Structure 1
Amino acid sequence: MNDETGPRVTGLGGVFYVAADPEATRAWYRDMLGVDGEYGPQLAWSEEPKANPYSLISHFKDEQYIKPGKGGFMINLRVNDLNGFCKKLKTKGVKVLDTADEGYGKFAWILDPNGIKIELWEQVAEELP
């Protein structure tokens, strides 16, 4: 249960990691995923069409879920049409590693040019878990 009064955390501010070529990485995110910004891909909650959108920080005991990604972490990006977005990625030569439908959401996984695993997530359920 969170405290609704006083100073508190209100959301995910970003994901930061070292890349051998930051400019090429930013270009890949812009060209392949369609997200851009002055300092890297920037996402605005105001553009989220689903009711009750949320972000999650999840912890794992081992790296199995992160594999074949590198670095011990994964980035989860929300999408509004997972099937359509995966088709778009494939036309750009991005390999979709796998997909899953968990009922509350649909998922697909890709790797960025640095080997960082990206989980694409279409929120289906409007209720918070």
Structure 2
Amino acid sequence: MKKYALTLTLIAASFLAGYAVKTSVDKNEKEPMKKVTGIGGIFFKCKDPKAINQWYNEHLGFDTSPYGTAFAWRDAEDSTKKGLTQWNPFPEDTKYFAPSAKDFMINYRVENLEALVMQLKKENVTIVDQVETFDYGKFVHILDPEGNKIQLWEPAE
């Protein structure tokens, strides 16, 4: 009798565990993965980044450094979360935007960069490099259909 009860308990536990896993998987399939959550930065080529930084500082009040400036903001849904959008001029001969021949690059903030890269690969999006991790987040570069290089950034929270 004990063996029968133990077997019945194991079957019931297996059924419940399978149901819980299936429900979890079904729930994940129904909720679309968040992709871009905002603009992380705007980068552009110019003849003289130092002069451009100075002009924007003098005429538009940008608090510039050799790396441009960062605009601080708060999340609309959770005002305790802060974010930054980076604005940065680059020398016109920079190779940082390669393989794109364009004079600009936009950085988009994302959640779960690795999962997004896996999804983009399935969708045959050109992934330029590997995900790199720094103290301030994870990065990867992709190309859109017109050859614009796009930087995807998952900020370190």
TM-score (norm 1): 0.56
Aligned match of 1:60: 90
Aligned match of 2:58: none
Count of residues in Structure 1 that have an aligned counterpart in Structure 2: 84
Aligned match of 1:121: 153
Aligned match of 2:112: 81
- 2:103 is equivalent to residue 72 of structure 1: yes
Distance in 2 separating the partners of 1:50 and 1:121:
20
Alpha-carbon distance change, 110 to 48 in structure 1, aligned in 2, over 3 angstroms: farther
Alpha-carbon distance change, 50 to 90 in structure 1, aligned in 2, over 3 angstroms: farther
Unaligned segments of structure 1, at least 5 residues = 1-11, 16-44
The structural deviation recorded for 1:47 is 6.1
Tell me the percent identity: 36
The structural deviation recorded for 1:49 is 9.6
- 2:135 is equivalent to residue 103 of structure 1: yes
TM-score (norm 2): 0.47
Alpha-carbon distance change, 48 to 73 in structure 1, aligned in 2, over 3 angstroms: farther
Distance in 2 separating the partners of 1:50 and 1:124:
15
Distance in 1 separating the partners of 2:116 and 2:136:
18
Distance in 2 separating the partners of 1:74 and 1:123:
18
Alpha-carbon RMSD: 2.7
